[in-house]
Amino acid sequence: MTSQYFSLTFFYLFLFFFFSFSEPHLSENSVTPISLPPSPSPSPSPSPSPNNIPIEIQLACKASKDPPTCESSLTELSHIPSNLTALQIILSALSVSSQNLTSAQSMVKNLLDSAGAGDANLTVAAKNCLQGFGNSAYRHNLTAAALPRGEIKDARAWMSAGLGYQIGCSSNLLRVNGTLPVAKTLEVMKGLIGFTTNALWMIMNYDIHGNETGSWAPPKTERDGFWEVGSGSGSGSGFGFRGGVPSGLSPNVTGWVKPSFQDR
């Protein structure tokens, strides 16, 4: 298969998730790999909106393609403090994405465990996904560590790469979507990719507009938003996207070697 083929696959897959992202319905466990920084105040929100969603969350979720889902995912975290800073909201969005990633991970583990000897294609797809998830979780962690240090362009590149691995997994699973468990996993992946995209777009807005959430908005085009990341901006982390295919992300994700912590 040519790289051209995979370029198109990734591109259409992205468009598919981009335009069809809607409210995920599956809900499972809730592990919290990333914790919020201390809240500035435990007092109730000073300016609750009619629908009870803190105004700062409403503003930040303007960066999302789907603000209502973004808002509800962030307010679902029951411990959400008031007077959130932009940084805290981004870290919350990242945490939501990490939780969904953990769910997707366990679903794919189940797929792998239940795959019979005849399911060679499914086994390969699931293994590739798990490898990609590990890389994606690692990028989530790098992102969460970089943001409070103000290394926003790094965070942007890490998050973009993390998203790329998730899209790669969906692309793999899509080709073996023959059973209900796979279809359900793909559904969760769709939600995961939506939440990761939210986090990425928030980081991009934070990079461009800083904490002025009043100016936050979705990227104007896919080129502005998704594909450009890492090509012009950034600090040369090298995990961005170029020409439609995430660099470092081959269809055979098993070939990808996870960098060590010393790589930065």
Ligand X SMILES: *[C@@H]1O[C@H](CO)[C@@H](O)[C@H](O)[C@H]1NC(C)=O
Residues that bind ligand X in the complex, under the rule CB under 6 A:
24, 26-28, 33, 40-41, 43, 46, 73, 76, 83, 85, 96, 99-100, 103, 121, 134, 137-138, 141, 174, 177, 183, 186, 188, 191, 211, 252, 254-255
Q: 23 or 224: whose CB is closer to ligand X?
A: 23
Would you mind telling me the total number of residues written for the chain in this entry? 264
How far is Cα 214 from Cα 250, in angstroms, rounded to an integer?
A: 38
Least Å distance, CB 228 to ligand X, is 25
Least Å distance, CB 50 to ligand X, is 18
Burial of 73 (0-12, 13-18, 19+ CB in 10 A): buried
How far is Cα 83 from Cα 98, in angstroms, rounded to an integer?
A: 23
Residue 210 is given by DSSP the state T
Return the structure tokens found at 215. 């100016």
How far is Cα 190 from Cα 203, in angstroms, rounded to an integer?
A: 20
Q: 47 or 232: whose CB is closer to ligand X?
A: 47
Least Å distance, CB 53 to ligand X, is 14
Q: 36 or 174: whose CB is closer to ligand X?
A: 174
Least Å distance, CB 247 to ligand X, is 17
Q: 25 or 220: whose CB is closer to ligand X?
A: 25
Matching residue, tokens 């998830």: 133
